[in-house]
Structure 1
């Protein structure tokens, strides 16, 4: 038996033992957060505890750790995609359920990288379900679309009557550090938010590098970064709206930045279009400091992972 035959048989044996590696990853992570009221506590806030009650994953999408950096009432979690980037054909699904009164803050350790698709779109689907008086904060790092990326983002948020939801989404078209432009590919977005099964917010978008929106002054106006921050927690107090309107991003770092806030009866929305994903995040963090005491009844505590 020559070396080629030996190598062929060894390869076949390894494939039988280990299985053939998948060409594409279909990753699914399910989380459930619960709330527990400690008995015999004079201060209800001191006795409240939110915690991870259930987790299950299939494929490379995991919860790195659950933490309580701001006390027991809020559970922080870091969502990790171990491969570090999403290739064409990969599909990520994150399902999160919050039981009554639970409060969770979820983030990611670094930017999401969406690679060249080679003709096969990648996708990310979020499904969040919040029970009465629950609060979920979804504050991931930015998503970077490499040239050639074809990405489908979708999210469905189901809220009970008194549930509160805060989330931001920062998208960078092309790798700015490499002076790369997004010249081929597509991005589809579909966000739907329901309160008591009634649709209260819908965003649908379909972009390619040649879409009119990419260059239009009513769109991205040639900028590579588009970001949004929404809070669904009822009517925003006037003083909070005015304070948010006074906030500005660091224009010294991004002279082309355009930004603004809108307050509707059900939803607060902030937008940023500019040159810098970092500037967008800093702007949103300033707004978060003003908004969180209103919708969550507590000051901001930055996730520790943001400092690394």
Structure 2
């Protein structure tokens, strides 16, 4: 998916921001060895709440919202044996398009036996957005990935429906050059798809937790399916996907956090403790 826009398409008020982060293994520790940014997108210090083996970073976008014409590009590279966990301090808000599309591209590359966890807080699409989201994951042999998205269509608490606008999504996961997962779609606000049982079924919140890089066993699947009737789980050879459809962003966040805590000891071979930033 091509994410470039001609310069003429960007208004003077639009933000074009990029962030490149690189992680490397140093003995038993993971270090943040590359940190380059342009525009209002960055991380501050590396955090080690569970010891030096896992480097935590909080991605900051100071404008606090994504408006029509904005472009965000995030590149994460985890070299062999490193382990990075990335999250955000709050919800990402996509504002009214005003005739201009807004774009976000995330690319994650994990080297042999590396681990990457992508755990942002929820994304809220205001009415009349034109959002283009691309998420690409490239895993080497032995690498593992765990990523989550909570998408909210409209601001239900304010009585706003997602009646206009468009959300384009592209998710691609490969390992050792082999395609593991491909998910692509376009949702139009107010369309019949929002009510169709094959798409949202009238739900205003959609959450997905995807893990790649190993096969799920029957015991893990049973644990996940027992968490809540609203949570669906399915497994392929080396991909595990959980989905939630509903009307409550808080419930979706709690379910995704609970599912992550259940999955992490198996998938990442580390215990899971809820991230403090999720409760601030």
* TM-score w.r.t. length of structure 1: 0.85
Do residues 305 (structure 1) and 277 (structure 2) align? yes
Aligned twin of 1:205: 185
Q: Which runs of 5+ in 2 are unaligned?
A: 1-10
How far apart, in 2, do the equivalents of 1:101 and 1:213 lie? 42
Which of 212, 231, 239 matches 1:267? 239
Aligned twin of 1:290: 262
Displacement of 1:176 in angstroms is 1.9
How far apart, in 1, do the equivalents of 2:220 and 2:62 lie? 39
Aligned twin of 1:245: 225
Aligned twin of 2:18: 28
Runs (4+) off by over 4 Å = none
How far apart, in 2, do the equivalents of 1:50 and 1:213 lie? 44
Cα RMSD of the aligned pairs, angstroms, is 1.2
How far apart, in 2, do the equivalents of 1:296 and 1:22 lie? 44
Q: Which has the higher helix share?
A: 1
Q: The residue matched to 2:250 in structure 1 has which SS?
A: helix
Q: Which has the higher strand share?
A: 2
Q: Which runs of 5+ in 1 are unaligned?
A: 1-20, 38-47, 250-257
Q: Is the 8 A contact 1:165 1:233 kept in 2?
A: yes
Displacement of 1:224 in angstroms is 0.7
Aligned twin of 2:200: 220
Do residues 80 (structure 1) and 70 (structure 2) align? no
Q: Is the 8 A contact 2:261 2:274 kept in 1?
A: no
Give 1 or 2 for the bigger CA radius of gyration: 1
Do residues 165 (structure 1) and 145 (structure 2) align? yes
Q: The residue matched to 1:138 in structure 2 has which SS?
A: strand
